[in-house]
Structure 1
């Protein structure tokens, strides 16, 4: 007995065209999501480095203030090199309502022209009172 094949196995042209249409619609959306993820990763990396630059600058301000016995007042600016790039920072020190306390704001950006929109801004309140007896564990021992 001989069997005849009336229909060949495989996909029809319509099925192949529908599959291609689905892939053509999904692929650009996937590529767009992937590029957004890559951009977000770069932004978070830059923001983390800017935080480190600001924290380093705050530590330096504290050390210099303690060594010199005087807290910086007014504004200061500079450039720090970290992770193979230059990072621009601006420090603003203002008097608060509390005696001997200053508000220190450190803004960090990846270019000098983006001062108005920094990647990271660190705000700290520092005492300008550097007497020996105000530090716990130090002093006359009374």
Structure 2
């Protein structure tokens, strides 16, 4: 009589299921890496925009005479193309100054927005 030998190893179905699970896990890992890279780039852009806004407010504090009104100008930071929108309004003995920084290459919400008050001298 011939005895049945038990085959050792994995069946084709088991191997295919394992490969499918690994493929799903790898796709999720690649997606997470992509999202993290995009978030890192946005954080860098926001930091540079905040630096541009702070620089503009420092310049305005040093100016002898402020004038009410709105002004739009380029405020690039290195290779990052930015557009600054400055609004100055008189509020009694103070000027309220707002600086908003936008990405000049596309329509998007502001990357930075700062408001301060400067005393009229």
What's the TM-score, normalizing by structure 2? 0.84
Q: CA–CA distance in 2 between the matches of 1:41 and 1:54?
A: 20
C-alpha contact (below 8 Å) 2:81/2:105 kept by paired residues: no
Q: Larger radius of gyration, structure 1 or 2?
A: 1
Structure 1 residue 71 and structure 2 residue 66: aligned? Answer: yes
Report which structure shows greater RCO (CA 8 Å, sep ≥6): 2
Q: CA–CA distance in 1 between the matches of 2:34 and 2:15?
A: 29
- Deviation per CA, 1:70-96: give whole Å up to 9, x if none: 223111221123122332101001123
Ranges in structure 2 where 5+ consecutive residues have no aligned partner: none
* Aligned-CA RMSD value: 2.2
What's the TM-score, normalizing by structure 1? 0.73
Paired residues for 1:3-22 under 5 Å: 6-22=5-21
Q: CA–CA distance in 2 between the matches of 1:31 and 1:100?
A: 56
Cross-structure match for 1:51? 50
Paired residues for 1:12-51 under 5 Å: 12-51=11-50
Kindly tell me the number of residue pairs found equivalent between the two proteins.
Answer: 119
> Which ranges of 4 or more aligned residues in structure 1 deviate by more than 4 Å?
none
